[in-house]
Amino acid sequence: MIPSRLQDLQSEFIDLSCEFARKLSTPTNKVDGRDVIVALEKTICDEEAFWLLRSRNNRAESAIDSYWTSKHEYAKQKVVERLANRLHDLRLPTEIATESQGTNARQDILLTVKKPDGSVKKRVALEIKTGYRLDFSQLERLMRDSDVVVLIRAETGHVTTLRSRRYDALLTESLRNRIGRLRRLVEGHAYAIQGRGCFMCANVSCPFKRRSTRSSRFTLTNDHFDMDLDTFLRTLHLVIDKAVESVASEI
């Protein structure tokens, strides 16, 4: 289970997020703690985080081709089907949920292993990536909610198991830094941090705002589409087998 020290820091972080949300809320703009957590993760710039929460707008997002979401949903379905059959073979008291919202993150698949008395023994999250992008902040949040995170990269064939206790020092220090940042913001001490994010920042009143001439839509060429689809369909069953056996060995 999650160490008590980490749970205490997490509770403090959530309490401060709610306090900051109340400070920013107005009769026409209700901000909650989750909004604060998302904004702080979206940008390292304090001023942009303020702007996101006050305007309730997000960065300009890329238009997403449904091909990518369809791949993800297809892979998730295949993993759940295989996982449920394997758990049935093992005769283990478990629950399976998809798109489960935890305190810190939404899990693609959450497996909850129960003790004989019905209490929770272990939480195993499965995170499926069907492209090449990897979000380390998301992995951190998943580890704060679960005992084990099984990361599945369908495109590359990678399957790896992250045990949260092994990274306790990282998770603890990261939360302390987030708490320190929130305390600064609650006290009104914000930094405008310049960087690549200035190209995507929607705060047009910021003097550091930069214009980007690049298109926000990414489309695969015909050749790349053929290669991507072929690789996905050929490797998916292999990574599913690896992932399911990784889960079985953990429980």
Residue-wise pLDDT tens digits, 75-128 = 999 999 999 999 999 888 889 999 988 888 899 999 999 888 888 899 999 999
Q: Is residue 49 part of a domain?
A: yes
A 10 A CB-CB count for 246 gives 18
Question: Is 227 within a domain?
Answer: yes
First to last CA, the chain: 13
Contact 99, 117 (CB under 8 A): no
pLDDT at 60: 45
82 is a domain residue: yes
Which is it for strands 120-129 and 158-163: parallel, antiparallel or unpaired? unpaired
pLDDT at 73: 93
Return the pLDDT at 58.
46
If one compares 169 and 196, the residue with the highest pLDDT of the two is 169
- Domain containing 89 — which CATH number? 3.90.1570
Q: What is the pLDDT of residue 250?
A: 87
Count of domains observed in the chain: 2
Let me know whether 115 and 149 are in one domain: yes
**pTM for this prediction:** 0.80
Q: The domain containing residue 51 runs over which residues?
A: 4-62+170-200
Token pair belonging to 11: 């509770």
Is residue 137 domain-shared with residue 245, that is, in the same domain?
yes
Q: Are 233 and 154 in contact (CB under 8 A)?
A: no
Q: Average of pLDDT values for 44-66?
A: 72
Q: Do residue 101 and residue 117 come from a single domain?
A: yes
For 228-243, how does the pLDDT look when each residue is reduced to its tens digit (9 = 90+)?
A: 888 888 888 899 999 9
Is residue 138 located within the same domain as residue 233?
Answer: yes
Residue 132 and residue 231 in one domain: yes
Question: Between the CA atoms of 174, 131, 193 and 38, what dihedral angle is there, to the nearest 10 degrees?
Answer: -60
159 and 126, same structural domain?
yes
Give the confidence band of 28 by pLDDT, cuts at 50, 70, 90: confident
pLDDT at 2: 64
Tell me if 188 is assigned to some domain: yes
Please check whether residues 24 and 106 belong to one and the same domain: no
pLDDT of residue 1: 63
Pick 42 or 109 by higher pLDDT: 109
Distance in angstroms (rounded) separating the CA atoms of residues 84 and 224: 34
193 and 159 co-located in one domain: no
In a domain, 79, yes or no: yes
Q: In 3D, which of 182, 201, 219 has the Cα closest to residue 18?
A: 182
34 or 203, higher pLDDT? 34
On whether residue 117 sits in a domain, the answer given is yes
Whether residue 205 is contained in a domain is answered as: no
Q: Are residues 117 and 239 in the same domain?
A: yes
Q: Are 47 and 139 within one domain?
A: no
- Domain assignment present for 212: no
Q: What is the pLDDT of residue 59?
A: 46
Residues 174 and 162 in one domain: no
Question: Do 186 and 246 share a structural domain?
Answer: no
